[in-house]
Amino acid sequence: MRWISLIFLLIVGTAVPVIQPLQAKDPAISLQKTSACESFGVQKFQNRKDAPVFSLKDLNGNQVSLKGYYGKPLLLFFWASWCPACKEDLALLDNYLRKNSGLIEILTLAIDGEKEKRVKSIVKDQKITLPVLLDRKEVMARAYGVRMVPTAFLISREGVMEGVIIGQRDWCAPEAHLAIQELLNLR
């Protein structure tokens, strides 16, 4: 019986030092609440600047200018017809805009705009209702510093770039709406 008690004390005695380090010793170390922007992957610009102005043709041949969107919060989405993630995001953004009509405007820029037939085919097949602009020769993608697609820029009512989202996202997730609201001060 004495041996059993001694073995029990040895087991408990060695387990306590293992368990204690798992507890935070500093009460200041705790889980911090992250912002909606952080949880959705928005990179906020520290040095905010005016969005590069553009005037591009849409799929119907009409000129569309960034200046026409001043006074409205805007999500500017760069994509390519060869990018599967971009095509998925297009459908999600289209759905997002239908649910949040009037809250934000969305413009999409096809960086392979010289392949207009392919871009039109994707838009038609996916029943996309978002405005699609043709960024022939990636002129605006370079002006905005786009390095990969999909990439989305959030632009304030004043035409100032507030943040960027690089890569695929679930635009219909609640975090998307909260991040956009938080960054663009939409209520």
Q: Using one digit for the tens of pLDDT, what is the confidence trace for 124-165?
A: 999 999 999 999 999 999 999 999 999 999 999 999 999 999
Q: Phi and psi (nearest 5°) for 159?
A: 85, 20
Whether the CB-CB separation of 93 and 79 falls below 8 Å is answered with no
User: Which ranges in the chain belong to alpha helices (H)?
Assistant: 2-19, 36-40, 84-99, 116-125, 139-144, 174-184
Q: What is the DSSP letter of 102?
A: T
Q: Is the pTM of this model over 0.85?
A: no
Range scoring the smallest mean pLDDT among 44-48, 89-93, 126-130, 143-147: 44-48
Specify the CATH number of the domain 34-184: 3.40.30.10
